[in-house]
Amino acid sequence: MTSSPLPRRVALISVHTSPLAQPGTGDAGGMNVYVWQTAIRLARRGIEVEIFTRATSSSDAPSVAAAPGVTVRHVIAGPFEGLDKRDLPAQLCAFTAGVLRAEAAQAPGHYDVIHSHYWLSGQVGWLARDRWGVPLVHTAHTLAAVKNAALAEGDTAEPQLRVIGEQQVVGEADRLVANTETEAAELLSMYDADADRIDVVTPGADLECYTPGSSAEARSVLGLDPDETIVTFVGRIQPLKAPDLLVAAIAPLIKEVGSGRKLRLLIVGGPSGSGLQRPTALMDQVAELGISESVTFLPPQPSDRLVQVYRASDLVAVPSHSESFGLVAIEAQACGTPVIAADVGGLGVAVDDGRTGVLVNGHVPGDWTNALEKLLAQPDRLAELGRNARRHAEKFSWEHTVDQLIESYRWAMESFAAQTDAAHRDAEQAAAQTPGGPARARRRWRRRRNRVTV
């Protein structure tokens, strides 16, 4: 496969969230990081990248040169503001029209590959694939069937509309990119995917940005006490991410009398998803448990500040009910900070249990309290886990991710070309059975390849 040519230009589709948005609030999260980090690295390899995303402000320019070789195209589809992610299926027709018009303004064959992110984008990519005559590579990032099987208390199940939409995209995509072997197995068992079309491509972290550094300096930058033990949650505040579990689990340890430990919980993020229905719910829980003075809330942080958050922390907690991978876990470990995480989805890959952190089975607050207490009582072990954490994180670079993605693109291009050639031969053979058929078939084939409507 390495002999196959690189794609010249890739269309990345990310309907519901822009890679330019700040992760940690609204619908912006790990997928934003993934799209942006892979896009800029693809461009550095000489592959031009155009990212299509929905415009969410009247100030969004139709086209933004976001980085060398990377263009972000804001497609108008529905009102700029006030649309929830669940409202977006009704806007897919408008969004798709915008994508197709952008391509129609170019010379034929402008894109070599389409890479769609999340099921909404997969629906758009599916149509564009057939219209442009190029292969579709799809990354789900999360799967409705998986989320519904591990639904958090008080959370809302993913609608059947999404389950069906995902099934359609799984059936149509030329290649499916899974974050881990676990996700690949879920595609097989829950969506009856074709195993031969699945590529496992592990996400990474920006290892140049997220590096170990002085905890004291980081705490000074963030205004945190240098003498406290700090446990940190980073992510969108919604039931799926389970920050409420962490609050309930750490409360007894904060209130513990005579422990000699000053313990602080740092929560970095903003309301998202079903968490928007009760945006102050986590603060209310903290107040009801009587630990407000020991809990600090920070808004979502840009990467140059987020690295200080990780360095300032003694332990980062990822208690999610479902995670396809867990970028926060890798970023924290890249900074030399150990992680305590739920043993779900890709977190078993992101965290080396017992060496760089601890995995907790289930979401019972008492179990998390015990696991936290045991870890925090052993500062020497925490330090050892932190030293191992950076070495583990170095296995997960975005460069390695892009290496694997390019191979997936090449497989898609090669198999799509083979299928196209086979279809051409079949059409010519069928046409040969009728008078004037071969010439008519050639004309029909040229029209199809040039995408001319007649």
30: closest CA among 439, 323, 407, 422?
323
pLDDT at residue 260 tops 80: no
Judge if 196 and 233 occupy the same domain: no
Quote the pLDDT of residue 369. Answer: 98
Residue 46 annotated as binding? no
Q: Cβ contacts of residue 43 below 8 Å, gap of 6+?
A: 49, 67, 68, 69, 70
Average confidence score pLDDT of the chain: 90
SS3 11: strand
Residue 191 annotated as binding? no
Query: What CA–CA distance (Å, rounded) separates 280 from 237?
Result: 10
Residue 98 annotated as binding? no
What domain range includes position 291?
215-396
Residue 311 annotated as binding? yes
Judge if 132 and 277 occupy the same domain: no
The average pLDDT across 307-330 equals: 96
pLDDT at residue 324 tops 60: yes
Q: Which tokens hold the place of 166?
A: 């995902």
Q: Which tokens hold the place of 54?
A: 């929905």
Residue 384 annotated as binding? no
Q: Which tokens hold the place of 134?
A: 């190029």
φ, ψ dihedrals at 74, nearest 5°: -90, 115
Residue 16 annotated as binding? yes
pLDDT band at 25 (very low <50, low <70, confident <90, very high): low
**Inside any domain, residue 159:** yes
Query: What CA–CA distance (Å, rounded) separates 252 from 291?
Result: 9
Residue 432 annotated as binding? no
Judge if 183 and 241 occupy the same domain: no
Judge if 407 and 355 occupy the same domain: no
Residue 337 annotated as binding? yes
Range with lowest mean pLDDT among 106-115, 175-184, 440-449: 440-449
Q: What is the pLDDT of residues 374-409, one digit of tens each?
A: 999 999 999 999 999 999 999 999 999 999 999 999
Domain count, the chain: 2
pLDDT at residue 440 tops 80: no
Judge if 301 and 161 occupy the same domain: no
**Inside any domain, residue 103:** yes
Judge if 262 and 384 occupy the same domain: yes
Judge if 252 and 165 occupy the same domain: no
**Inside any domain, residue 454:** no
Query: What CA–CA distance (Å, rounded) separates 193 from 171?
Result: 7
How many Cα atoms are found within 13 Å in the side-chain-facing hemisphere of 407?
15
More confident residue, 418 or 69: 69
Residues of the chain with pLDDT > 90: what percent?
78
Reported as type and span, the H/E element at residue 97 is: helix 92-104
Residue 5 annotated as binding? no
Quote the pLDDT of residue 23. Answer: 75
Quote the pLDDT of residue 270. Answer: 85
pLDDT at residue 275 tops 80: no
Residue 355 annotated as binding? no
Judge if 178 and 82 occupy the same domain: yes
Judge if 309 and 160 occupy the same domain: no
**Inside any domain, residue 104:** yes
Residue 313 annotated as binding? yes
Residue 29 annotated as binding? yes
Instruction: Please state, as a whole number, how many other Cβ atoms lie within 10 Å of the Cβ of residue 435.
Output: 6
The residue length of the chain stands at 454
Q: What is the pLDDT of residues 364-378, one digit of tens each?
A: 999 999 999 999 999
Residue 262 annotated as binding? no
Q: Which tokens hold the place of 290?
A: 């009587």
Given a contact cutoff of 8 angstroms between Cβ atoms, the answer to whether 374 and 366 are in contact is no
Q: What is the pLDDT of residues 30-74, one digit of tens each?
A: 899 999 999 999 999 999 999 999 999 899 999 999 999 999 999
**Inside any domain, residue 358:** yes
pLDDT at residue 441 tops 60: no
Residue 236 annotated as binding? yes
φ, ψ dihedrals at 275, nearest 5°: -65, -20
Judge if 340 and 391 occupy the same domain: yes
Domain boundary among 362, 381, 396: 396
Quote the pLDDT of residue 159. Answer: 94
pLDDT band at 452 (very low <50, low <70, confident <90, very high): very low
pLDDT band at 1 (very low <50, low <70, confident <90, very high): very low
Q: Which tokens hold the place of 242?
A: 């389970």
Residue 303 annotated as binding? no
Quote the pLDDT of residue 451. Answer: 46
Judge if 141 and 251 occupy the same domain: no
Judge if 328 and 343 occupy the same domain: yes
Q: Is 290 left (phi over 0), alpha (psi -120 to 50) or beta?
A: left
Residue 409 annotated as binding? no
**Inside any domain, residue 293:** yes
Query: What CA–CA distance (Å, rounded) separates 450 from 56?
Result: 33
Residue 58 annotated as binding? no
Distance from first CA to last CA of the chain, Å, rounded? 37
Per DSSP, the residues of 150-192 read TPPTT--PPPHHHHHHHHHHHHH-SEEEESSHHHHHHHHHHH-
Q: Give me the CATH number covering residue 273.
A: 3.40.50.2000
Residue 241 annotated as binding? yes
The average pLDDT across 78-97 equals: 91
Query: What CA–CA distance (Å, rounded) separates 180 from 116?
Result: 18
